[in-house]
Amino acid sequence: MPLLRFVVGLTPARAAGTCVLAVFFTTLGGSYRHYRLGHLNVRYIVPVILSGAAATAIFSVAFVSLASRGRWLDLGIGLVLSLVSVRMIVEGIPGLVAPGADQHHELVLRSSLLQKATIGGAAGILPGLLGIGTGVILVPAFTFILNLPIKIAIASSLASFCVNSFISSSFKLVQGFIALDVALPICAGTLLGSNVGAILNKRFESRTVKLLFGVVFSFVSLRFILSFLQGYP
């Protein structure tokens, strides 16, 4: 998203639409790789997937109104990423997480259907309305609410967003917010890169992955917020 917005120079709306199409291929490849690595059990996240798909469809319709307000689209993306970056950095700093909080190695079966549906529905808003990944909600939600280890949280987030991004990109393609000449080569690259990323994820400590997420999100969020303050574009 930040590369499409600030390097390629797409408008906020077209950057969002193009990004969500590219991320579909990222999540498709990444989900498959995580499944092969044993990080993913789709059966336990079906409520998250279904509620997220419904929310994505609804807010994809609302995206048309926000698309004409590019400055506010930048602000929305920046604020979401900044909130997530703070929490992930905190969780990545040694000594700030309760001992044993990251020792579970399978999905929490006791989490309620309503809890999962609420998480999925909240996450589905982002790809529909802002064109950004549900990882910014799902990874922290799976980690801090369902108490999953970060690697399983990432795998579950990818699988959920694979469905959400397909729905969102389908809407945005019809609405005319996808730059296909930019999207197609990016899709090919992300399909390969997501598999490499999943392999590298297995080699890093969970706390390191959390801290990396937080640092990246903090820099990206600042760039979007500055775009709003300085005036679009």
pLDDT one-digit tens code per residue, 189-206: 877 776 677 677 667 777
User: CB–CB of 172/11 below 8 Å?
Assistant: no
pLDDT of the chain, 233 residues: tens digit per residue = 888 888 888 888 898 899 888 888 888 877 888 888 888 888 888 999 999 999 999 999 988 888 887 888 888 888 887 887 887 788 777 766 544 444 444 444 445 788 888 889 988 988 888 887 777 678 778 877 777 777 788 888 889 989 999 999 999 999 999 998 888 888 888 777 766 776 776 677 777 877 888 888 888 888 888 888 887 65
Structural domain boundaries in the chain: 2-230
What is the residue type of 210?
A: K
Give the length of the chain: 233
User: CB–CB of 190/169 below 8 Å?
Assistant: no
Cis check: omega of the bond before 233, within 30 degrees of 0: yes
| pLDDT reported for residue 102 | 45
pLDDT one-digit tens code per residue, 95-105: 665 444 444 44
pLDDT one-digit tens code per residue, 151-185: 788 888 889 989 999 999 999 999 999 998 888 88
| pLDDT reported for residue 95 | 65
CA distances, 65 to each of 60, 71, 75, 130, 175 (Å)? 10, 13, 15, 11, 11
User: CB–CB of 159/39 below 8 Å?
Assistant: no
The number of helices, as runs of H, and strands, as runs of E, in the chain is 9, 0
The token pair that represents 100 in the structure block: 């044993």
Q: In b/e form, how buried is each residue of 99-120, taking b as 16+ CB within 10 angstroms?
A: eeebeeeebeeebeeebbbbbb
